């Protein structure tokens, strides 16, 4: 069974440009999460989808970040325009949810470098 896959693995862009990160969760997982670690900081929650609906987006830093999950399958996280402080590793995770508390499956992450 395929795990959580993220694309791209590494993206280098200039300040002011736009980047879109993609996450494909494990098939059948209704819950999808985005987390990120910026340089020297802890891994932080960004938002949570249940199917196509945003359940909790309290961790989104500002309105330059837009997450979507069309059809309840894969998700995209767009940063527009990117700033230097957005550099870091963005992790996606998925879970079955009901009946399986706390077991999130993480992808390898997408490393974003903003120059």
Partner 1 sequence: DAKTTQPPSMDCAEGRAANLPCNHSTISGNEYVYWYRQIHSQGPQYIIHGLKNNETNEMASLIITEDRKSSTLILPHATLRDTAVYYCIVELSNFGNEKLTFGTGTRLTIIP
Site for partner 1 contains 97 (CB under 8 A): yes
Residue 56 and residue 77 in contact, taking contact as beta carbons nearer than 8 Å = no
Site for partner 1 contains 93 (CB under 8 A): yes
If binding means CB under 8 A, how many residues of this protein chain bind partner 1?
Answer: 30
Q: Is 108 helix (H, G, I), strand (E, B) or coil?
A: coil
Dist CA 91 CA 85 (whole Å): 16
41-80 footprint of partner 1 as x/- string (CB under 8 A): -xxxx--x-x----xx------------------------
Stretch that binds partner 1, among 12-20, 63-71, 72-80, 106-114 (CB under 8 A): 106-114
Taking CA 77 as the corner, what is the angle to CA 72 and CA 81, rounded to the nearest 5 degrees?
A: 150
Query: Token pair for residue 23?
Result: 């996450």
Q: Which of 31, 65, 75, 114 binds partner 1 (CB under 8 A)?
A: 31
Residue 93 and residue 4 in contact, taking contact as beta carbons nearer than 8 Å = yes
Could you list the residues that contact partner 1 (CB under 8 A)? 4, 30-31, 33, 35, 42-45, 48, 50, 55-56, 89, 91, 93, 95, 97-109
């Amino acid at each position: 069974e395929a795990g959580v896959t993220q694309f791209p693995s590494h993206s280098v862009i200039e300040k002011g440009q736009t980047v879109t990160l993609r996450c494909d969760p494990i098939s059948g997982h209704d819950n999808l999460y985005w987390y990120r670690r910026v340089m020297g900081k802890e891994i932080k929650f960004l938002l949570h989808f249940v199917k196509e609906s945003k359940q909790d987006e309290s961790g989104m830093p500002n309105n330059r970040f837009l997450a979507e999950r069309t059809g309840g399958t894969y998700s995209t996280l767009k940063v527009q325009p990117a700033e230097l402080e957005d550099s870091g590793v963005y992790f996606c995770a998925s879970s079955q949810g009901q009946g399986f508390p706390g077991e999130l499956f993480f992808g390898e992450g997408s490393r974003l470098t903003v120059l």
